[in-house]
Structure 1
Amino acid sequence: MVSALNFTGKVGSQLVVRVVIQGSAPFDYFNIQVDPASPCCVQALSPVSVDLNGTVLPGPISESICIRGTATTTNTTCASWAPNSHEAVQVIASGGTTSGPATSGLLFTITYDILARTTDTNLLFENNVTPLGHSCACVHILDSKGNNLPENLEISIFENFLFGDVNGDCVVNVVDLALVALAFDSTSSSSNWNPSADVNNDGVVNLLDLTLVGLNLGKICT
């Protein structure tokens, strides 16, 4: 089970993630839970839809989709933990058996709203999730006889923190320099304090922060 290694995007836009499978034995069912693991107290991504169009699983397909603990398909019961996760998606689908012996292709796509800046939101395949956290990574892929197929998981990373991008618009320019200047010589107790202007996170906005923005002028999110 693999996805692209790195994703990036601008706050206020959307991110489309393709979940694909490579080199699998033939299967006719999958049960996959994807849950971005953001840093503490930051929800960077919010799932809004799941699309099985183009899936490698042959039709007709029976699907069950839960987004943030809410069923988006009929006759669907979401896992008991799901209402406690604001980022989780669970997709269950069954259909005809894929052609083998090494099946590769798209399983489904997830569209996320990008809510906040982050440096390291992992996109994980999860199971047994509780309000206390995650206990293991698990994906269920079954063959036509109901046997679980072994799959190797690859974790992807969503990162949209651009060094020197003080206002989070995915470009480093004179606006960012101006924001640092407005917060110059400030600390967390100052009335003009702007934590985003403290580029190196040393607790004070000073010449070093201006220099760091200047060194990154013209850079954009990739």
Structure 2
Amino acid sequence: MEAIEERSVDREEEQKEVSQKPGRKKPEKKKRAVGCALLSLFIIMLACGVLFGLHLLGIVDIRSITYKAGSHLPFLGDRLLPPGEVVITPEERRIQELQEYEEQINSKFLELQRKEEELGKKERELALMEEELQARARSLAEIAQTPSSRELQVEEELFPKVIAIIQEMSTRRAAEVLNDFNDSLAVEVLKALPPDTAGAILGRMDAAKAARLMEQMATEKGE
């Protein structure tokens, strides 16, 4: 009897030892699983960081990798990679950027060419205005030399137009025109112009004539 009882006690102890062994291994397995997961996450983050750095340097285009990987995902593949969208390589992207830069240069060149054509058009218009001014100036000079009632009326009609055209001319060209006027007509024109414009024109005229005109203008102003 005692032998049987001892055997039953030994069996119970063996069962307890067997039941306790799996319980000791479970925490170790959990710790190992958590460690592996953290290590995997660290490796993935490190790889993503390296790829992103290479993408910024232009060595690798991570968009192509992302699109290719995402296209295999269920439900999200079509959204990540729309049908018909072309995934370009870094070399193709550089070529595309160069083409866009070339298009910008061509656009700026065309814009400059258009502005140059507009400037040439304005210069031609100004040349025609100067020719018209010189013709009218000659008419005014002739009228001033031999005035009559009809001629004075014509002079009054032409004078505002002449003033307007002179204001559109360059200072040098206006000075050349006034050099051909007689002194009285030149004084009337200068008095009708803004003071700064008249002063700039006098500075470009013949020195002797400019001195006479300023003296005459000062005398009339004193009176």
Q: TM-score, normalised by structure 2?
A: 0.18
Which of the pair has the greater relative contact order for Cα pairs under 8 Å at 6+ separation?
1
Higher normalized strand content (fraction of residues):
1
Q: TM-score, normalised by structure 1?
A: 0.18
Higher normalized helix content (fraction of residues):
2
